[in-house]
Amino acid sequence: MSIYEQLYPFQKHIVDKFADRKSFGIFIDMGLGKTPISLALAEKNECTKIIIITINSKALETKEEKGSWLYWAEQSNINYTHRIKKDSQFDETIPEVLLINYEALFSRDKSSNAKCALRKNVISFIQSCAGHKAAIIVDESHKMKNLNSLQTLAINKIKSQLELRARKVYTYLLTGTPFTTGYIDLYSQLKTLGYTDTKTQFIDQFCIRGNIRGLLGWQQPIVGYKNIDQLFDVIHRYAITIKSKDVVDLPEKIFINHTLPVSEEFKIFTSEKIPEKTLFKLLDKKEKGQDKRVNNPFYRDIDYPTDRWIAETPAAFHLRCRQLSIGFQGNAEDSKWYDKRRLEQLKRFLIENESNYVLFYNYTPELYELFELCTDIGYNTDVYCGEIKSLKNYEKFSNQSESERLVNTKNIILANFASGSTGVNWQLYNKCILFSIPLYAHYEQGIKRIHRIGQKENVQYHFFYQENWLDKAMIKALKESVNYSDEMFQSDLVRVQELSQE
């Protein structure tokens, strides 16, 4: 049976309609099957050589892992040989399917004169494509934000060299979030797909620049976008965009907020001036103090008089504010919790609502506390972050019958947003906890880990946040599909400081 024969009707429609495109973007929602669609396109075009460029975790998956790249390649009516990154020994045989992660495309040898020198195994693969029909599949193509990044340069170099050797070359860019910081992210992807306008022309037509004194016009930051309908007309010349609700009847998404009042620590940390009587209380002085506002030594330095985590730069201040809103300061090696109300709130919730959850967090100090909390109250705890990919409880659950799953509760996956928001499918669970607020780039992908094809139940998302100006601003940014940047943080901070002086 071919890959095409195993597709859903809407997936077959995409393959049938766009198989003749030599370069095409599959910018469809997470969970709609970009992997089998792209391989079915290669299959239909009789590509006997395929290079798949993906994130590291997906490059490590074997053909035994259902839904993986190599699993689907095995379903093809074309007999592909392949090799995966974690093979302990590499022979001289060049595979028909080269599965590789972004970072392994190019050499970091500084002695090379080339701006982007491809690795030897990539060069060998390109040379082996002479006389073949070849496909380049770029997974998570939103990583190609910058035309001059080594990753983008390497991909375009592979494409140009294949076009010199192969009989025909097809290029497919795959992403569920084609832009993560703004529409400007689209330019390099569209350029790879054949868009002809220059970046200056793209910016002039679709971007709004700022007006910072002292900067030349081309140096001004992009602060907004215009002509959005025309922009999507351009996108649809080179790619298809589909949301899951348009083609698949997925269960409902339910969002539930769990809020806490603003902590005193957050107020003090973000206030440049405070009442003298408040300062005296913080310093354990015997004097009562007055209502007049004075300079606050805890501003940007909650651990005053030490300066362990002093926020000296705007970016550091943004980071420390995000952390203190959760309740802590520090990093993996050294951290301190000042406010454990959110942890206590989560503990009560998990005890009172026993079920199976995927929990997303941002920082390592969160993981330390969350792991101890979950295990202490009897949850079977998996961890998915960085180098730790332990999913034995979820795997056990996935191998059980429906009747066994009904009584197998109190399982939880603790997943770092950066690691767990892409490349994994956890749709056997239908409840997700967002313990701390992510950036949009991770949020949009993260919530699709359980809301995708195969999900049978309504999906619940539990948002835990503090009702301070930062958390509210970050949630607003999520709703507007933009990354909450350092610049946005600074603007909000100035506004809040001005209001506090009135």
Q: Report if residue 480 sits inside a domain.
A: no
Q: What is the pLDDT of residues 403-422, one digit of tens each?
A: 898 889 999 999 998 887 66
CATH number at residue 81: 3.40.50.300
128 pLDDT band (50/70/90 cuts)? very high
- Report the number of distinct structural domains present in the chain: 3
Cα separations in angstroms, 404 against 131, 398, 399: 53, 10, 10
Q: Report if residue 476 sits inside a domain.
A: no
Mean pLDDT of 12-31: 92
Q: Is the pLDDT of residue 213 over 70?
A: yes
Q: Report if residue 363 sits inside a domain.
A: yes
Q: Report if residue 381 sits inside a domain.
A: yes
Q: Looking at 239-305, which runs of residues are DSSP E strands? A: 239-242, 253-260, 273-275, 293-295
Task: Mark whether 11 and 114 lie in a shared domain.
Answer: yes
What's the pLDDT score for residue 231? 92
Task: Mark whether 98 and 79 lie in a shared domain.
Answer: yes
Output 406 or 465, whichever has higher pLDDT.
465
76 pLDDT band (50/70/90 cuts)? very high
Q: Report if residue 481 sits inside a domain.
A: no
Task: Mark whether 273 and 304 lie in a shared domain.
Answer: yes
Q: Is the pLDDT of residue 113 over 60?
A: no
What's the pLDDT score for residue 500? 67
Task: Mark whether 313 and 346 lie in a shared domain.
Answer: no
Task: Mark whether 43 and 149 lie in a shared domain.
Answer: yes
Task: Mark whether 131 and 147 lie in a shared domain.
Answer: yes
Task: Mark whether 326 and 239 lie in a shared domain.
Answer: no
Give the number of other CB atoms < 10 A from CB of residue 350.
Answer: 20
Task: Mark whether 179 and 208 lie in a shared domain.
Answer: yes
Q: What is the pLDDT of residues 25-57, one digit of tens each?
A: 999 887 788 999 999 999 999 999 999 999 888
* pTM beyond 0.85, yes or no: no
Task: Mark whether 381 and 447 lie in a shared domain.
Answer: yes
Q: Report if residue 189 sits inside a domain.
A: yes
What's the pLDDT score for residue 146? 86
3-class secondary structure per residue, 134-199: EEEEEECHHHCCCCCCHHHHHHHHHHHHHHHHCCEEEEEEECCCCCCCCHHHHHHHHHHCCCCCCH
Q: Is the pLDDT of residue 85 over 70?
A: no
| Containing structural domain, residue 493 | 264-337+488-501
Task: Mark whether 296 and 416 lie in a shared domain.
Answer: no
Q: Looking at 210-338, which runs of residues are DSSP E strands? A: 222-225, 239-242, 253-260, 273-275, 293-295, 328-330, 335-337
Share of the chain above pLDDT 90, in %: 57
Task: Mark whether 76 and 203 lie in a shared domain.
Answer: yes
Task: Mark whether 351 and 451 lie in a shared domain.
Answer: yes
Q: Report if residue 483 sits inside a domain.
A: no
Q: Is the pLDDT of residue 217 over 80?
A: no
Q: Is the pLDDT of residue 90 over 50?
A: no
Mean pLDDT of 229-256: 84
89 pLDDT band (50/70/90 cuts)? very low
What's the pLDDT score for residue 199? 92
Q: Report if residue 482 sits inside a domain.
A: no
Output 151 or 114, whichever has higher pLDDT.
151
